[in-house]
A = this chain, B = another copy of it.
Amino acid sequence: MVTKVKVVRDILEVNERVAAENRSRFDATGVRVVNLMSAPGAGKTTLLERTISSLGSSLRMGVVEGDIQGSQDAERIERAGAVAVQINTDGACHLDANMVATAVAELDLAALDLLVVENVGNLVCPAEFNVGEHAKAMILSLPEGDDKPAKYPLMFHESRVLLINKMDLAPHVNADPERIERDARTINPEIEVFRVSCVTGEGLGGWYDWLRALQGG
């Protein structure tokens, strides 16, 4: 047990070191980086497609796509008009700083204003691994239920932004966005919450404003 704990601690320490190197590289080129996390199917790629088509003319965006395998999402991002680099984790349930370092080596960071790292779909481990980002953002989709902040608190604690997505399904599911927001703020009083639908576009203005403000901050 002691050995196992030590191995985990070492992994996290090495990760922090590489994350700091990534951050220096981002800051040297002026690109702002968001680590976007959620459970599978909450709408990360759809959010990015919308964001690219809405902000793409004023904000030069790139995406690092994290998936266990496959490159469907990277293809969607490129079709939407942004540059994308695919990372396949080959079984790993989260991105770490080293994977992101390898991916960004393929990008011209100086040509970007905003880089979004789309993490592996998972509400647990991605929250433990910094990748050098300026901010973590998360999506919870309403059909996942209003008990998720209490059950996956670290993700809510680490995120500066919570997008409650699929608000268009509110009439059809038994989940209260008010409760999600309240419980998320109990865990993280500073969290910014936007209720959105990435299908209809509802509520995305706040998210766009937040991304623009991040450029200045």
- A: which residues have CB within 8 A of B? 4, 7, 11, 39-42, 67-70, 72, 91, 93, 120-125, 128, 141, 143-145, 147-148, 150-154, 166, 168-169, 172-174, 199
In the complex, the chain B residue whose C-beta lies closest to that of A125 is B93
Report the minimal beta-carbon distance from A169 to chain B, rounded to whole angstroms: 6
Chain B residue contacts of A168, Cβ below 8 A: 172
In the complex, the chain B residue whose C-beta lies closest to that of A175 is B41
Q: List 9 A-B pairs, minimum CB-CB distance, nearest first.
A: A41-B144, A93-B124, A143-B143, A41-B145, A39-B40, A39-B39, A40-B123, A93-B125, A172-B172
- A68–B169 touching, CB < 8 Å: no
- B151–A67 touching, CB < 8 Å: yes
User: Given A123-B122, A124-B122, A199-B174, are A70 and B169 also a contact pair (CB < 8 Å)?
Assistant: no
Q: Give the CA-CA distance A94 to B34 in the complex, in Å.
A: 26
Q: What 13 additional pairs, Cβ within 8 angstroms, besides A125-B125, A169-B173?
A: A40-B144, A40-B145, A40-B148, A40-B152, A41-B148, A42-B144, A68-B151, A68-B153, A72-B147, A93-B93, A121-B123, A122-B122, A169-B172
Partner of A151, one of B121, B123, B125, B169: B121
Q: Give the CA-CA distance A147 to B41 in the complex, in Å.
A: 9
Chain B residue contacts of A147, Cβ below 8 A: 72
8 A–B contacts from the bound complex (CB under 8 Å): A39-B39, A40-B123, A40-B144, A40-B152, A41-B141, A41-B143, A122-B123, A125-B125
Q: Give the CA-CA distance A125 to B93 in the complex, in Å.
A: 7
Chain B residue contacts of A67, Cβ below 8 A: 151
